[in-house]
Amino acid sequence: MATPLQVFLVTVIILSHTPSSLSSSPDGHGLTRGSSLSVENKDDTLVSSNGLFTAGFHQVGENAYGFAVWFSEQATSGNRTIHHQSEFKTLY
């Protein structure tokens, strides 16, 4: 089972090897050199060049945020259950 740190490190490695996913984009969902994402603005996200993935900060508590990467489009109807660490999660 991958730990959150391992998942984060793999994500950073993948994103660092795909410069087009972090380049400036017409829709404003990219980063240019010297710019950054902010947890204060929920709309601050990065979208991969092919539009498949989105990345940004997700609030996990009061004044606590995690960095997450997710599929941009909903891939399920909401009736599919995922088993993870002895808990059942339903995708919406």
Structure token pair of residue 9 = 């490190």
Name the pTM for this structure. Answer: 0.47
Q: What's the domain count of the chain?
A: 1
Q: For each successive 10 residues of the chain (92 residues), what is the average pLDDT?
A: 74 62 50 81 84 87 88 67 55 52
**The predicted structure's pLDDT at residue 21:** 41
Q: Give the per-residue pLDDT at 48.
A: 86
Print the domain residue range for 59: 4-90
35 in Cβ contact with 44 (< 8 Å): no
Predicted local distance difference test score (pLDDT) of residue 39: 82
Asked if 52 and 71 touch (Cβ cutoff 8 Å), the reply is: yes
Residue 23's pLDDT is 43
